[in-house]
Amino acid sequence: MIFNIIKGFILVFGVLTGSAYMVWLERRVSAWIQDRIGPNRVGPFGLLQPLVDVVKLLFKEEIVPITAEKFIHFLAPGIIIVSVITASVLIPVDPNFIITNPGIGILLIMGLSSLSAYSVVLSGFASLTKYPVLGSLRASAQVVSYEIPIALSVLSVVVLSNSLSLVDIVNAQKETWFILINPIGFIVFLIASFAETNRAPFDLPEAESELTGGYHTEFSSMRFAWFFAGEYGHIIISSAVITTLFLGGYHGPIASGLWWFLIKVFILCYIFVWVRWTFPRLRYDQLMKFSWKLLIPVSLINLLIIALVKILQL
């Protein structure tokens, strides 16, 4: 029990630290794509910049609108952090670093992922001003639309592995990763994950050019920092889940171990950043049509084909 608690603290510390350095990675990659230098003053290669940003935000004045629902306004940023931290302890990162292995692990991950959407929705409605409310309305419709293709993609993995346990899903890929057997499920899950994490080109809930900041417009100081930490933590968790479901988890081409898992997660996190600075933001009608008219039908057909092939193999 004590060892599991220690492992949990290590994993949570790693996710929160990784969230801070995802901001650094975002700024460095965006600078590289735009032919700029990026953060390079604080520490070697600007590696201490996230620490300085946290200290700066600690001393920023916290402003709460007069019209805001104070309790919900206070609670909303914490929901996304709690869901990210809880989800992190469910993911098997190494054969010798498995904190817990519930039989319905993937369902718990999906539930926690959906819970983080409440943070976005409640933050806008709690502010009770125009732009945050519009951002929350967009977020609620977006979550409903893109949860369906994610669920169908997960079901295709469950059919292939014959288990809801994350450890069993990883072990089922010891010989062949599911991305090779189920490439459509991987692509659908990856695209829907951009929408789930409110990343461009699906960042309509915060769309700076239209809503100035969307759902977190009225947040400042550390509450604003919690939103940032939660968003980037959600990216790390989404990358870890994709690695677990489709890329063999901690299994590598030669051996198994933590380093394979971290390499895969880093590559996926880089893809999240790269996509943001490469593709333009969709219009809202395009975003909704893309899910209901393309992703959902494709993921449903993919699930049916995989289920039929699985039945024929029995």
Closest residue by Cα to residue 147 from 104, 178, 107, 200: 107
Q: How many CA atoms lie within 13 A of 65 on its CB side?
A: 19
Q: How many CA atoms lie within 13 A of 279 on its CB side?
A: 16
What pTM value is reported for the model? 0.93
213 DSSP assignment: T
Q: So where are the chain's domains?
A: 61-313
Cβ neighbour number for residue 57 with a 10 Å cutoff: 17
Q: Chain-centre distance of CA 183, in angstroms?
A: 20
Per-residue pLDDT of the chain (314 residues; tens, 9 = 90+): 677 778 878 888 888 889 989 989 999 999 999 899 888 888 888 899 988 988 888 888 888 888 888 888 788 888 888 888 888 889 999 888 888 888 899 999 998 888 877 888 888 888 877 888 888 888 888 888 899 999 999 999 999 999 999 999 999 999 899 999 999 999 999 999 999 888 888 888 877 777 777 777 888 888 888 888 888 999 999 999 999 999 999 998 888 889 999 999 999 999 999 998 899 888 888 999 999 999 999 999 999 999 999 988 87
